Amino acid sequence: MEGTIVNFRGSYKTKSDNHMVISVNSVDSKEKAQKLVGKEVSWTSPAGKEIKGKVASSHGNSGALRIIFEKGMPGQAIGTKVKFLGV
């Protein structure tokens, strides 16, 4: 299962560098997104470095997910794919 990183999580003035919002094509409702809470995800950088994260909660009513990664994510990660581990 794969998802696409949409944006950083944050407000108008502050952004969290390790919190990302992702969307998954097969998830289109808040109820479906709640079933993925607690799953592990992995993002691979262009250099081959792997950064792991965990689904924290759903984001909004259209099935987006909030992921907390173990360390800060670069801006180049927006628009790239993440893989769900063990799904």
CATH number of the domain residue 81 falls in:
2.40.10.190
Stretch 3-12: mean pLDDT, rounded? 91
Residue 82: the pLDDT is 95
Please tell me the number of Cα atoms within 13 Å of 44 on its side-chain side. Answer: 7
Give 68-78 pLDDT, tens digit per residue.
Answer: 999 889 999 99
Q: Cβ distance 23 to 64 under 8 Å?
A: yes
What residues make up the domain containing 9?
2-85
Write down the pTM of the prediction: 0.88
Q: Structurally, how many domains does the chain consist of?
A: 1
Give 15-61 pLDDT, tens digit per residue.
Answer: 888 999 999 999 999 999 999 999 999 999 999 999 999 999 999 99
